[in-house]
Amino acid sequence: MYGARKFLFTGVPVIGCVPEERVKNETGDCNQEINYWATKYNEGLVPMLKGLKSKLQGMNYTYFDTYSFMQKIIENPSTYGFREIKSACCGLGNLKAIVPCGPIANYCPNRKDHFFWDLYHPTETTARIFADAIYDGSSEYTFPMNLRQLASAP
């Protein structure tokens, strides 16, 4: 057998909650319509992966439920060391999401307590939390196995 046999798939995150979407709402709340479509995509992806595994001999994979994991952090930011989950660390304007991060942008004093670096992207701290969850996480968010288990699987 030739070719790739092990895969990591990640679901679409809570994209309606990125600063670029929140700033469009007067209250700073998430864009629920975008989040709805993200969940619909994820709901379709999981059974498709199970079907592929049954059809492709030797295929093995892990799926990370990015949406649910991110939602958990948004609902309990202090548990993960975050003080700010709505605004970007780098940018200008309301939620630092009107003008993107660039040479004239303001930076937050502590990047470690922000979930978002800019209008769309996570901070290094956020990325580390996600990477740890993907690699060693529980089956609540990473299934049918985590990445460590996938790497050691035959």
pLDDT digits (tens, 9 = 90+) for 32-82: 999 999 999 999 999 999 999 999 988 999 999 999 999 999 999 999 999
Domain of 144? 6-152
Q: Is residue 92 part of a domain?
A: yes
pTM higher than 0.85: yes
Q: Residue 64 in 3-state DSSP?
A: strand
Question: What's the domain count of the chain?
Answer: 1
Q: Is residue 1 part of a domain?
A: no
Q: Is residue 100 part of a domain?
A: yes
Pair type for strands 60-64 and 6-10: parallel
Q: Is residue 61 part of a domain?
A: yes
Residue whose tokens read 């990047």: 111
**Does residue 1 carry a pLDDT above 80?**
no
Q: Is residue 16 part of a domain?
A: yes
Q: Is residue 89 part of a domain?
A: yes
> What's the rounded Cα separation, in Å, for the pair 39 and 7?
21
Q: Is residue 139 part of a domain?
A: yes
Q: Is residue 60 part of a domain?
A: yes
Count of all residues that appear for the chain in the document: 154
- Domain of 73, CATH number, reads 3.40.50.1110
**pLDDT tens sequence across 60-73:** 999 999 999 999 99
